[in-house]
Structures are given as structure tokens and as C-alpha cells.
Amino acid sequence: MLVVLLNLRLIVEKYCQDYEDELKDNILTSKDWKKLYTIKDFFAPFSRATLFTEGDFSSLDSTLFIMDILIRHL
């Protein structure tokens, strides 16, 4: 969902501008958007690792290898 939000940023910002009075303190600032991009970038390897290790052809060896990579990412 975070990726969808970031892809629709312009639309969300337009919506926030249109309903600024109703939203008040719940409008995303540029600092908030930067945090969201940072979060997306941080979790991207975890998403790819999950897809790589799922299914019938995954092995314990490949799972442990991916886990090592993710630990280095942290």
C-alpha cells in the first residue's frame, strides 16, 4: 500500500489541498513524504526476499542465504 500511496502522491497532495480545512493537522508535509520514501526503500529488500524464498522450489539453503543478506542490510 505504501508503494501505491507514493505512486499517487500528486493526487493525494491535490486532495489534501482541496480539503485542507477538514484535514487540518492530518496533511502530509514534505518531511512526512521523505520519511515514507525512506521506509519504502528500507523494506524493498524484504519484499524481494519474501518473493524469492516462497514456493515449492525454495530451500533452507536459499532461505539462510537471503537471511544473511537481509542482516547485512540492517
Helix and strand numbers, DSSP H then E, in the chain: 5, 0
pTM: 0.73
Q: Can you tell me the distance from the alpha carbon of 11 to that of 30, in angstroms, rounded to the nearest whole number?
A: 15
**Structural domain containing residue 26:** 2-73
Q: Can you tell me the distance from the alpha carbon of 62 to that of 16, in angstroms, rounded to the nearest whole number?
A: 45
Q: Can you tell me the distance from the alpha carbon of 48 to that of 60, in angstroms, rounded to the nearest whole number?
A: 17
Q: What is the number of domains present in the chain? A: 1
Q: What is the pLDDT of residues 31-55, one digit of tens each?
A: 999 999 999 999 989 988 888 888 8
Q: What is the pLDDT of residues 54-73, one digit of tens each?
A: 888 788 888 888 899 899 88
